[in-house]
Each structure stands twice: as C-alpha cells, then as structure tokens.
Amino acid sequence: MEQTVLVTGSSRGIGKAIALMLAKSGYTVVLHCRSNRDDATSLMSDIAQQGGKTRLLQFDVSDRAQCRHVIEKDLSDHGAYYGVVCNAGIIRDNAFPAMTGEEWDNVIHTNLDSFYNVLNPIIMPMVRRRSPGRIITLASVSGLMGNRGQTNYSAAKAGIIAASKSLALELAKREITVNCVAPGFIETDMTEKAPVKEALALIPARRAGKAHEVASLVKYLMSAEAAYITRQVISVNGGMC
C-alpha cells in the first residue's frame, strides 16, 4: 500500500535531507515550501530522477487559514497521509533585552503555532485510515537546555516537545506514534552564520552534525520497526545533553 508523508520545510537543509531519504525508502513524499519554490522544484526533479514519487505544496506554516485550505485540498485530492514530518522553522536570534516583538512573534508563530496549523487538519483523516501512522516533529537541543540569544527559539522548541508528548498520549491507542527529533549543531544554511568555534567547544564529539544523520533517525522512526516508540525526544547532538 502506498504510504504518503508530508515533510514541511523540505526545500533545503535538514528537511531536504529527510525528503530525499524517505523518497529513496519508497514513500511518496509531499514536499513543502513557503517561498523557495525553485529549490523545491529542483528537489522534485531529483526525486523523480531516482524513481521516487513526489508532489509539492506551497503555504506559510504560520498562516492558519492558508495551511488548512492547502492541506485539506491535498487530502481531498489524494487521501490521508501515513506520516508527517514537522520540520519548517526559522531563527531570529538576539539577546533578550534587544529582542523585538516582531522577532519573538515570528519565531513563535512559525515554529510553535505551526504545530497546530499543520497537524490539526491532518489528524482526523489519519485516524480514519484505521492504520498505523507516524508524526515526527523537529525540536532542538535549544528546547531541552536553552541557548543564549535564543529565548524565542528555545521557548518554541520546548513547546513543540510538550505538545508532541501530549498528542502522543491521545493517538497511541490508534497506532499513530508521535516523536520528537532534537538536533544539535547541524551543518545547514541556518547555522552557517553561527559562531562555529564556540558551538564546537560545547560538543563532546567535537564536530558538527550532518543533515543526513538527522534524516536517518527520522527514516527509522517513520518505519514499521518503530511502532512501539512513541512520546519520545531523541537527540542527534554529538553528546551535548
């Protein structure tokens, strides 16, 4: 039976690595972008060349009405998803006294409100499938231990962890698992401006992680073999915490 997985924020970085790995594993991958349509279209071509099945949705995860409209249309056209990877997110780092209201709101709306905006239209169709399902949210080491200059990001990711644990309780008897993956310092365009020396000093492994290392964990959690793993937060951080 065809298994379809939506991966938000999949035009680049960790999301792209996840989408590629899931497509190689035989899932039909629903790609998502907010504004990087060219990158997303290029990824669609890459997946198609490898024999994978994919399609693309474009919406802003912080826009509740837009999320619902686009997702419900896709569900109506193609049926319920087997899995969802909530990966889309932004950073707007600043010391808290200097942080603007806009910087706070943008991160909370995109990184935390998106949990509701994306998943709420999806859950009941998943339940009605009467088959196992998978929900994987991308948290962060910042949501577990905090990080200087990231009060907004840390708050949002901590909220994602709590929301995921709560949702896992609601869906466990339906055989739908909900887990968090919490990356540490991963080499992506989002971290390219970060103070590398300072970051590496905090990592026992003394190196940054790779996007495919996060994707490998997501691939496992998406599989049938991970059916008894739910309500967990699994870190990919080189031993940071």
The DSSP line for 65-81 is HHHHHHHHHHHHHH---
Give tens-digit pLDDT for 33-71: 999 999 999 999 999 999 999 999 999 999 999 999 999
Q: What is the mean pLDDT of residues 202-221?
A: 95
Residue 241 confidence class, pLDDT cut points 50, 70, 90: confident
d(CA 103, CA 118): 21
Instruction: Judge whether 222 and 22 are in contact, CB under 8 Å.
Output: yes
217 to each of 21, 41, 91, how far by Cα in Å? 10, 25, 23
Cβ count within 10 A of residue 70? 17
d(CA 50, CA 2): 17
Instruction: Judge whether 136 and 85 are in contact, CB under 8 Å.
Output: yes
Residue 89 has pLDDT above 90, yes or no: yes
Q: Which active-site residues does the annotation give?
A: 153
Residue 55 resides in a domain: yes
d(CA 241, CA 238): 9
Residue 131 resides in a domain: yes
CATH number at residue 128: 3.40.50.720
Which pLDDT score, from 0 to 100, does residue 27 have? 99
Q: What is the DSSP letter of 209?
A: B
Q: What is the DSSP letter of 205?
A: T
Which pLDDT score, from 0 to 100, does residue 201 have? 87
183 to each of 31, 44, 218, 224, how far by Cα in Å? 21, 25, 11, 23
Cβ count within 10 A of residue 9? 28
- The residue range of the domain holding 180 is 4-236
Give tens-digit pLDDT for 133-148: 999 999 999 999 999 9
Q: Bridge partners of 172?
A: none
Residue 194 has pLDDT above 70, yes or no: no
Residue 149 has pLDDT above 80, yes or no: yes
| Total count of domains within the chain | 1
SS3 180: strand
Mean of all residue pLDDT scores within the chain? 96
Q: Which two structure tokens, joined as six digits, stand for 103?
A: 């910087």
Residue 28 resides in a domain: yes
Q: Which of 13-17, 118-122, 189-193 has the lowest mean pLDDT?
A: 189-193
Say whether pTM exceeds 0.85. yes
Residue 205 resides in a domain: yes
Residue 241 resides in a domain: no
Residue 191 has pLDDT above 90, yes or no: no
Give tens-digit pLDDT for 66-88: 999 999 999 999 999 999 999 99
